[in-house]
Chain A
Amino acid sequence: MLKLAIYGKGGIGKSTVTSNLAAAFARLGRKVIQIGCDPKADSTINLLGGEPVLPVMNFLREHDREPERIEEIAKTGFGGVLCIETGGPTPGLGCAGRGIITTFSLLADLRLFEQYKPDVVLYDVLGDVVCGGFAAPIREGYASQVLIVTSGEKMALYAANNINSAVHNFEDRGYATVRGIVLNRRSVDREEEKVRAFADANDLPIVADIPRSDDIIRYEDMGKTVVEGDPGLDVSKRFLALAQLLLDEEKAFE
Chain B
Amino acid sequence: MKQTARIISIHAADTSGVCSMLYELGGMVVVHDASGCNSTYSTHDEPRWYRQDSMIYISALTEADAVLGNDEKLIADVTSAARDLSPRFIAICGAPVPLLAGTDFPAIAAEIEARTGIPCFGLHTSGMHSYLTGASEALEAVVSHFCTDSLLRTEKPTANIIGATPLDFSISGATDSIRAWLAKAGFELVSCMAVGSSLDDIRRASSAHVNLVVSSCGLATAELLRQRFGTPWVAGVPVGERFPAVLAEALSDAAESGKCALPCAERDATGSAKRIVIPGESIFSGSLARAVELDTGVPCRVLCPLEAEDRLLAPGDQRIFDEDAAAAAFAGASGVIADPMYAPVCPPDVPFRRLPHEAFSGRCYRKESLNLIDRPLPWRL
Chain A residues in the interface with B (C-beta under 8 A): 95, 97-98, 101, 131-133, 136, 139-140, 170, 172-175
Q: For the complex, would chain B's binding face be called helix, strand, loop or mixed by DSSP majority? A: helix
Query: Please, which residues of chain A bring their CB within 8 A of the CB of B103?
Result: 132
**A136 CA / B114 CA spacing, docked (Å):** 21
Which interface residue of A95, A131, A172 has the most chain B CB atoms within 10 A?
A: A172
Asked whether, in the complex, the Cβ of A136 is within 8 Å of the Cβ of B107, the reply is: no
Cβ-neighbour of B111 out of A132, A140, A173 (below 8 A): A173
Instruction: Check A174 against B100 for contact (C-beta < 8 Å).
Output: no
Tell me if B102 and A131 are in contact (CB < 8 A): yes
CB distance from A95 to the nearest CB of B (A): 7
Q: CA separation between A140 and B105, bound complex, in Å?
A: 11
Using known A-B contacts A131-B69, A132-B69, determine if residue A173 contacts B100 with beta carbons closer than 8 Å. Answer: no
Besides A132-B102, A173-B104, 19 more A-B contacts (Cβ < 8 Å) are A95-B100, A97-B102, A98-B100, A98-B101, A98-B102, A131-B69, A131-B102, A132-B69, A132-B103, A139-B104, A140-B106, A140-B107, A170-B107, A172-B111, A173-B107, A173-B110, A173-B111, A174-B110, A175-B107
CB atoms of A132 and B100 under 8 A apart: no
Interface size on B, residues (CB 8 A): 12
Considering the chains assembled together, what is the distance between the CA atoms of A97 and B102 in angstroms? 8
Closest to B113 in A: A172
Bound form: Cα–Cα A132–B66 in Å: 11
- Chain B contacts with A in 94-145, Cβ cutoff 8 A: 100-104, 106-108, 110-111, 114
Would you mind naming 18 contact pairs between A and B with Cβ atoms under 8 Å apart?
Answer: A95-B100, A97-B102, A98-B101, A101-B102, A131-B102, A132-B69, A132-B101, A140-B107, A140-B110, A170-B107, A172-B111, A172-B114, A173-B104, A173-B107, A173-B110, A173-B111, A174-B110, A175-B107
B107 touches A174 (CB 8 A): yes
Roughly how many angstroms separate A68 CA and B218 CA in the complex, as a whole number? 27
Min C-beta distance of B128 to chain A, whole Å = 11
* List of A residues within 8 angstroms of B69 by Cβ: 131-132
CB neighbours (8 Å) of B114 from chain A are: 172
Q: Looking across the interface, which residue of chain A has its beta carbon closest to that of B114?
A: A172
Minimal Cβ-Cβ distance residue in B for A100: B102
Residues of chain A within 8 A (CB-CB) of B106 are 140
Q: In the complex, how many residue pairs between chain A and chain B have their CB atoms under 8 Å apart? A: 33
Inter-chain CA distance A71–B171, complex, in Å, is 49
**Closest residue of chain B to A173, judged by CB?**
B107
CB-based nearest B residue for A132: B102
Task: Select the residue from B104, B110, B111, B114 with max chain A CB neighbours within 10 A.
Answer: B104
Find chain B residues with CB under 8 A from A172 CB. Answer: 110-111, 114
Bound CA span A173–B106, Å: 8
Bound form: Cα–Cα A215–B151 in Å: 66
A132 to B104, CA, bound (A): 8
CA of A95 to CA of B110 in the docked complex: distance in angstroms? 27
Residues of B contacting A136 with CB < 8 Å?
102, 104
CB neighbours (8 Å) of A132 from chain B are: 69, 101-104
- Nearest Cβ in chain A — how far from B365, in angstroms? 35
Specify which chain A residues have a CB less than 8 angstroms from the CB of B101 in the assembled complex: 98, 132
Determine the distance from Cα of A174 to Cα of B108 in the docked complex, in whole angstroms. 10
Partner of B102, one of A133, A140, A170, A174: A133
Taking the nearest CB of chain B, how far is it from the CB of A89, in angstroms?
Answer: 12
B102: chain A residues within 8 A (beta carbon): 97-98, 101, 131-133, 136
